[in-house]
């Protein structure tokens, strides 16, 4: 097969084109950060799929969409047509992958932080090889708005999870005991004086006490992000380790940048961040990146 | 608070989330502003979710009483 003249090989290197089993066919992975997509874009994708693909799409586990069955010579045309509509191509290989996140505080009643908004910022800042990133291996980030961790931040190379620290305004408490029965961690017991006592060592900062309190006696002392590092799935799954608690949301990008610099320097080619962290030790990693 | 002050009640024991909240919401919609609804809720998820959702709808939870048999008596003032 001869290469069409219009194809930009350097653009191909940015990833997102997945060779299919059938000769000359590719699946085109789209960049749909945090799985948020407009109905108009979905229509456009459907149109492109019918026009240049086989009318079949794959919804990926990372909230992405792949257009299947595009022949090699049409890749550039598809890319141009998608870009014209404001759609971009995703990543594969040793790159910073499209960030995933739950809908977060703006949509979900459980959300503590704007995980989707942060995910979009993370994607915009680091995607692919932004900021001169030349990574040893793929790098996946997921951001969860609360302790339910629906987008699985601990299964990613780096993950954030929203958290909230409760504080009791004693004067507003009417000793109803709702917080005691609501707390799934058994971290709250009603004391002899009728006021709830919170056991800091059991508290996971989910905020259920704050949300359930009928008199708003439990209030938020601070909101932040728990950071996890080194998680992955694949052949040798491992959950990410807790790197920090209560990272201020405005410092969220800085910490990721710091971890990326560490990984770029210390990671061996083909080594996922979790392996690097295990080799160097979590304490040393904390000393270096925090 | 005496029983007389309750304008209506719902026994939601054994009713799962979010049906228990929807029933509470629909009942409150029929009631006059300022009137009081008493609901009986199981401990666990119903108690974790229903009072919180009622609060988010703008109503006021004026009393919560734990009863024997793992359920709660919750009084709500309609806003």
DSSP readout, A1-67? Answer: -PPPTT--HHHHTTS-EEE-SSTTEEEEEB--GGG---HHHHHHHHHHHHHHS-S-EEE-TTS-EEE
Q: How far is A194 from chain B (nearest CA, A)?
A: 13
The number of domains in chain B is 1
Contact status, residue A258 vs residue A250, Cβ threshold 8 Å? no
Give the bridge partners for B66, in sequence order: B72
Q: Of A109, A182, A214, which has the smallest distance from its Cβ to B61's Cβ?
A: A214
Q: Of B44, B55, B64, which has the smallest distance from its Cβ to A176's Cβ?
A: B64
- Taking CB atoms and an 8 Å cutoff, what residues of chain B touch A211? 52
pLDDT of residue A4: 55
pLDDT in tens, A154-163: 999 999 999 9
Known catalytic membership, residue B22:
no
Q: Which residue has the higher pLDDT, A12 or A185?
A: A185
User: Which structure tokens are listed for A238?
Assistant: 């491992």
pLDDT of residue A11: 57
Say if the Cβ atoms of B47 and A212 lie within 8 Å. Answer: yes
Checking if the pLDDT of A2 tops 60, the result is no
User: Which structure tokens are listed for A43?
Assistant: 């229509």
DSSP string of A193-226? Answer: TS-EEE-TTT-----HHHHH-TT--EEEEEEEEE
What one-character DSSP code corresponds to residue A98?
Answer: P
pLDDT of residue A122: 98
Residue with tokens 């439990």: A218
Q: Which residue of B has its CA nearest to A176?
A: B64
C-alpha–C-alpha distance, residues A114 and B61, integer Å: 28
**In this structure, what are the phi and psi dihedrals at residue A243, rounded to the nearest 5 degrees?**
-95, -40
Is A166 exposed, middle or buried, given 0-12, 13-18 or 19+ CB atoms closer than 10 A?
buried
Contact status, residue B1 vs residue B75, Cβ threshold 8 Å? yes
The CATH number given to A9-84 is: 3.30.70.3340
Q: Report the CATH number that the domain containing residue B71 is assigned in CATH.
A: 3.30.110.40
C-alpha–C-alpha distance, residues A235 and A167, integer Å: 43
Q: Which residue of A has its CA nearest to B46?
A: A182
pLDDT of residue A132: 79
C-alpha–C-alpha distance, residues A241 and A243, integer Å: 6
Contact status, residue B36 vs residue B67, Cβ threshold 8 Å? no
C-alpha–C-alpha distance, residues B47 and A159, integer Å: 31
pLDDT in tens, A127-151: 998 877 889 999 999 999 999 999 9
Q: Of A176, A177, A211, which has the smallest distance from its Cβ to B52's Cβ?
A: A211
- Taking CB atoms and an 8 Å cutoff, what residues of chain A touch B66? 177, 181
User: What is the b/e burial string over A52-62, where b = at least 16 CB atoms within 10 angstroms of the residue's CB?
Assistant: bbeeebeebeb
Q: CA-based diameter of chain A, in Å?
A: 83
B41 touching A, CB under 8 A? no
Checking if the pLDDT of A208 tops 50, the result is yes
Residue with tokens 């969409």: A65
pLDDT in tens, B17-70: 999 999 999 999 999 999 999 999 998 889 988 998 999 899 999 888 889 888
Q: Which CATH architecture has domain A93-290?
A: 2-Layer Sandwich (3.30)
Out of B6, B17, B31, B61, the active site residue is B17
Domain range spanning residue B62? 3-77
pLDDT of residue A157: 98
User: Which structure tokens are listed for A145?
Assistant: 């708005």
| Region(s) of chain A under CATH 3.30.70.3340 | 9-84
C-alpha–C-alpha distance, residues A4 and A190, integer Å: 73
């Amino acid at each position: 097969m001869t290469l069409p003249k219009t194809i930009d090989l350097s653009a191909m290197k940015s990833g997102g084109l997945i060779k299919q089993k059938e000769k000359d066919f590719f699946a085109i992975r789209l960049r749909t950060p945090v799985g948020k997509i407009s109905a108009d874009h979905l229509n456009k994708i459907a149109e492109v799929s019918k026009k240049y693909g086989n009318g079949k799409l794959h919804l990926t586990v990372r909230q992405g969409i792949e257009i299947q069955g595009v022949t090699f010579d049409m890749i550039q045309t598809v890319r141009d047509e998608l870009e014209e509509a404001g759609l971009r191509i995703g990543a594969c290989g040793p790159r910073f992958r499209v960030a995933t996140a739950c809908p977060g505080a703006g949509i979900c009643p459980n959300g503590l932080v704007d995980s989707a908004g942060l995910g979009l910022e993370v994607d915009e800042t680091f995607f692919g090889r932004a900021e001169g990133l030349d990574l040893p291996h793929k790098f996946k980030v997921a951001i969860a708005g609360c302790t339910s961790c629906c987008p699985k931040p601990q299964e990613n190379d780096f993950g954030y999870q929203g958290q909230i620290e409760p504080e009791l305004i004693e004067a507003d408490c009417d000793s109803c005991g709702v917080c005691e029965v609501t707390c799934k961690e058994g971290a709250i017991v009603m004391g002899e004086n009728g006021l709830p006592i919170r056991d800091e060592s059991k508290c996971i900062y989910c905020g259920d006490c704050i949300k359930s309190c009928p008199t708003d006696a439990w209030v938020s002392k601070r909101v932040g992000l728990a950071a996890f590092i080194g998680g992955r799935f694949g052949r040798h799954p491992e959950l990410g380790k807790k790197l920090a608690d209560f990272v201020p949301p405005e410092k969220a990008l800085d910490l990721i940048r710091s971890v990326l610099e560490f990984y770029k320097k210390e990671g061996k080619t083909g080594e996922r961040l979790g392996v690097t962290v295990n080799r160097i030790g979590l304490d040393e990693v904390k000393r270096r990146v925090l | 608070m005496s029983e007389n002050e309750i304008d209506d009640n719902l026994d939601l024991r054994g009713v799962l989330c979010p049906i228990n909240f929807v029933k509470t919401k629909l009942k409150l919609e029929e009631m006059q502003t300022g009137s009081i609804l008493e609901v009986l809720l199981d401990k666990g998820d119903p108690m974790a979710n229903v009072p919180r959702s009622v609060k988010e709808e703008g109503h006021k939870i004026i009393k919560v009483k734990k009863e024997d048999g793992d359920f709660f008596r919750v009084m709500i003032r309609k806003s």
